Amino acid sequence: MRIVAEHLSYTYNADSPFATKALDDISLTIEEGEFFGIIGHTGSGKSTFVQHLNGLLRLPSSLKRGKKKDPAVLTVGEFDLTSRKTNFRALRRQVGMVFQYPENQLFAETVFEDVAFGYKNFAEKKPEADEVARAVREALEEVGLDYGEVKGMSPFDLSGGQKRRVAIAGVIVTKPEILVLDEPAAGLDPLGKREVMELLHRLREHWCKTVVVVSHDMDEIAENCTHVAVFAEGKVKKVLPPAELFPHAEELLSLGLDIPLTAKLVLALRKRGMEIDCDYTVEDFVKKVLAQKGEKC
Amino acid sequence: MAKALEYRDVSFSYGEESAFRMEHLNFSVEEGEFVAVLGHNGSGKSTLARLANGLLVPDGGEVAVFGTTVTQKNLFDIRRQVGIVFQNPDSQAVASIVEDDVAFGAENVGLPREEIGERIEFALRAVGMEEYRTATVSRLSGGQKQRVAIAGVLALRPKIMILDESTAMLDPRGRREIVEVVKELNKREGITVLLITHFMEEALLCSRAVVMNRGEIVMQDTPEGIFRRGEELVTYNLALPRIGEICNRLRAGGMEVPYTLGVDALAEEIAKCVS
C-alpha cells in the first residue's frame, strides 16, 4: 500500500483563539516497501502527520480549510481518507501504530492477553481460541520472545526491552501492511536500540511491507532509512535518501535538528582538510576513511 | 601491603526465590585505583557495591577493607572508609540546604563543629559547588545534586568511594560532570574509586575495567582492552557506544586510532593517520 498526501493541512483548536496550525499544505508520498524516516523538531508537525495515517486525526477539518482548487488528498492503498465512508476499522488493521514508550500501554494480566487484545479487537467476527493462540504465538516469536516462557507472565515483570517487544507484538498481531512507530528506540541502551532496529528490519522483510519511523535519533535514520522527510514548522522541507540528505548537515543543524555521528565526523574531518564522500552509514564511512589511509598508521 | 578492597571467595544470594547467585567471587582493588565495573541490569554490580561496606553480608567468604574483614561489629568504622553514592539524585538528600546536607554524615559521626565547617568547605570545593553552599538542594540540577551527594560522602574523608550507577539518571552533561569530578578526586586526593555503570564510555577514564554477568566477573582488562572485544560484550548484554564501534572498525581495517569518544578528538586522530 502506497501512502499519498497532497495539500494536507491541519489546525488544532480551529475557530478558537488557541488555533495552532500544525500542518501547512504538505505533500508527501511513501512508496510500498520503504523504511521511511520522519525527522523534525518538537512541534514540527510530524506526529500530527502520522496520526492522520490511520485516521486518529480525521481529515474533514483539514478538508474544509483546504483551498477549493487544491483539494486535500490522503490515500493509504485503497483507502481514501478524505471520504466519510472510509472503513476506519479496516484501515487500522492495515496501519499498525506504535506510540512512544509503548510499554506504558501494556495493561493485561498476562502477556498473552495483552497481545491477543489487538487481534480480537480487529477481528471481523469472534475468533476461535486456537486461531488467537496461533496469531499471538507468531507475533511474540516474531519480536524475538519465547512464547512458552512469556505467555503466562505478567507484562509488568518483564525487562524494559522485553516490555517494548510485547507492546510491538500487540500491534503487529493483526499483520498490518504498514507499521508506523513513534521513537521506537527511545530510552533504550545501545544494545536495546540495536535490537529494536534489527527487529524493524526483520518485520519489513517478511511481516509488514512498509515501516514508517518518527525519530530524533539521526544515527538510526542514517543507518536504516530508504527516504527521510524533514518536517519544520508544519511543512515538509525535504524528502531525500539519507545519503543525499546529510550533505545538508548545516541546514539541518540550523533547523535545530541533530545530525548523525558519521555526518559530524565528516564535518570535523573537512575542517582538517579531508573530504569523505560516504552514504553516512557507519560501514560506508569506515570504508571511505580507510581508503584514504596513509602509510603512517 | 593490604589491598584497599578485597573479596575473598564471596558467595551471596537474595534468598531461595531469587534467580541471582554470586558464587565464590574473588576480586580485589589496589589503593589509589580507579576501577570501572560494567554490567547489564541484574549482573550483580550493585550487589558488589553493597557487599563492600556491609549493606549486604556475604553468605560465604569475606570482604576486607584495607585488610580488615567487614563484620557486624566494625560496620561503623568500615562505613567511614567506604562511602557509596547511589543512583537517584532525588532520594539521597537529607536536608534542604546544601551545606546542611553535606554536613549530615560528618555530624553523625560526632566530629567537632569547627572541623565540620572545614570539611564542608573542602568537600564542596572538591566537587566545584562552593558557590552553592547555602542553595536549596531541590532547586539544583540532577548533576549538581549528585555532586552534593558526593560532597556529603567526601566530608567523611573516605578512602574508598563507590559510585553505584550514580550517573544513570543524569543527562550526558550531568554524567560528564560527575565522572570528571570523581576522576579528579582519585588523582588529587588518592581516593580509591569503584565506578559502577552501564555506560561504557565512562570506563575510558578508569585504569581498569571489569565486566560482570550473572554474578560473575567475566572480563577484566584495561578499558581499551575491553573495548577491543566489542562483540564479546554483546554476549553480556552490553554494547559499545557508536563512536567506539567506529574506532573498532577503523582498527580492524588497519588504522590504529586510539579509543576516543569525542567527535573532534577522533577526527584529529584520523587526520593524523591520513596526512
Question: What is the ipTM for the molecules in this complex?
Answer: 0.78
A277 and A193 in a common domain? no
What b/e string do you get for A271-289 counting C-beta neighbours within 10 Å, with b at 16 or more?
eeebebebbbbbebbbebb
A219 and A152 in a common domain? yes
pLDDT at B87: 86
Is residue B170's pLDDT more than 90?
no
| Interchain pair B250, A283: CB under 8 A | no
A87 and A34 in a common domain? yes
Q: What is the rounded CA–CA span in Å between residue A51 and residue B85?
A: 44
Q: What is the rounded CA–CA span in Å between residue A274 and residue A4?
A: 41
Where helices occur in B39-171 by DSSP H, the ranges are 45-52, 75-81, 98-108, 113-126, 142-154
Q: Which residues in B lie closer than 8 A to residue A185 (C-beta atoms)? A: none
A244 and A277 in a common domain? no
- Residues B248, B239: contact at Cβ < 8 Å? no
> A17-21, A135-139, A173-177, B30-34 — which is least confidently predicted?
A17-21
Q: Would you place residue A161 in the very low, low, confident or very high pLDDT band (cuts 50, 70, 90)? A: confident
| Interchain pair A274, B268: CB under 8 A | no
Q: pLDDT digit string (tens) for A253-297?
A: 998 888 999 999 999 999 998 999 999 999 999 999 998 886 666
| Interchain pair B255, A261: CB under 8 A | no
Where helices occur in chain B by DSSP H, the ranges are 45-52, 75-81, 98-108, 113-126, 142-154, 172-189, 223-228, 230-235, 242-252, 263-274
Is residue A231's pLDDT more than 80?
yes
Question: Min CA distance, B52 vs chain A (Å)?
Answer: 27
Of A150, A142, A148, the closest CA to residue A106 belongs to: A150
pLDDT at A262: 95
% of residues, chain B, pLDDT over 90: 59
Range of the domain at A126: 3-259
The separation between CA A202 and the C-alpha centre of its own chain, rounded to angstroms, equals 15
> A93-97, A246-250, B24-28, B86-90 — which is least confidently predicted?
B86-90
pLDDT at A296: 61
Is residue B9's pLDDT more than 90?
yes
A36 and A62 in a common domain? yes
A130 and A175 in a common domain? yes
A252 and A279 in a common domain? no
Q: Which residues in A lie closer than 8 A to residue B247 (C-beta atoms)? A: none
A132 and A163 in a common domain? yes
SS3 percent helix, strand, coil of chain A, rounded to 5, is: 45, 20, 35
pLDDT at A62: 46
- Domain with A14 in it: what CATH number? 3.40.50.300
Domains and CATH numbers, chain B: 5-240 (3.40.50.300)
Question: Could you tell me the three cell numbers for A44?
Answer: 514540527
Is residue A64's pLDDT more than 70?
no
> A67-71, B9-13, B242-246 — which is least confidently predicted?
A67-71
Is residue A25's pLDDT more than 80?
yes
Strand order in the sheet with A178-182: A95-98, A178-182, A210-214, A35-40, A227-232, A235-240
> Which stretch, A65-74, A184-193, A287-296, B46-55, has highest mean pLDDT?
B46-55
- The count of domains in chain A is 2
pLDDT at A63: 53
pLDDT at A292: 86
Calculate the alpha carbon distances from A154 to A134, A164, B126 in Å. 19, 13, 47
**Interface residues of chain B, partner chain A, Cβ below 8 Å:** 40-41, 198, 200, 234, 237-243, 245-246, 249-250, 253-257, 263-264, 266-268, 270-275
A264 and A194 in a common domain? no
What b/e string do you get for B153-169 counting C-beta neighbours within 10 Å, with b at 16 or more?
bbbbbbbbbbbbbbbbb
- List CB contacts of A117: < 8 A, sequence separation 6 or more: A107, A108, A170
Bigger pLDDT: A264 vs B172: A264
Q: Would you place residue A69 in the very low, low, confident or very high pLDDT band (cuts 50, 70, 90)? A: low
Rounded to 5 degrees, φ, ψ at B97 are -110, 140
Tell me the average pLDDT across B50-79: 94
pLDDT at B65: 96
- Residues B146, B89: contact at Cβ < 8 Å? yes
pLDDT at A67: 52
Q: What is the rounded CA–CA span in Å between residue B262 and residue B243?
A: 8
A90 and A48 in a common domain? yes
CB atoms within 10 A of CB B62: 15
A197 and A59 in a common domain? yes
A162 and A100 in a common domain? yes
